[in-house]
A = this chain, B = another copy of it.
Amino acid sequence: MEFDPKSLTYNEAGLMPAIAQDSESGEVLMMAWMNAEAVAKTLETKRVTYWSRSRQSFWIKGETSGHTQELVDFRYDCDQDCILVLIKQVGAACHTNRRTCFYTAVRDGQTVELMKPMDE
C-alpha cells in the first residue's frame, strides 16, 4: 500500500515520538519528535529529520554537529502513533557527546552514569 505521512496519528501539536535505533548494534540512541513533513523529508532524503519543539523548526540531525543519521529502515507501530527509525549514526547521537542519550540508569534506587562523553 502506498504510504502517506499524513495517514499517521499525530498529537494535538501535530507531532509524534520518533525513536532512533542503531541499525547494527541495536542500541537505542535517542527519542525526538516528527511532524508529517519531517516524516516525508526523512523518507525522501534518507537524512533523519525531526521537528525541534524548542526552535519550532526542522532539525536535520547532524547538520551543525556533523553527527548525522542515515536512514536504514523506517517503521511505525500498531497504533500508528510512534515511529522507529533504524539508522547509521555518525559519532554521538546525544548533545552531551555521548553515543546515546540514555546514559543514566536507576539501580537499587540510585542513579548511575553508564558512559562518559566520547573523545572529540
| Stoichiometry, copies per complex | 2
A6 within 8 Å of B by Cβ?
Answer: no
Distance of A84 Cα from B93 Cα, bound (Å): 15
A57 within 8 Å of B by Cβ?
Answer: no
Q: How far is the CB of A105 from chain B (nearest CB, A)?
A: 5
Q: Most chain-B Cβ atoms within 10 A of its Cβ — which of A19, A75, A111?
A: A75
CB-defined contacts of A26 to chain B, threshold 8 Å: 25-27
CB-defined contacts of A96 to chain B, threshold 8 Å: 78
A60 within 8 Å of B by Cβ?
Answer: no
CB-defined contacts of A94 to chain B, threshold 8 Å: 77-78
- Residues of chain A having any CB pair with chain B under 8 Å: 1-3, 17, 19, 21, 25-28, 30-31, 43, 73-79, 82, 84, 94-96, 98, 101-107, 109-111, 114
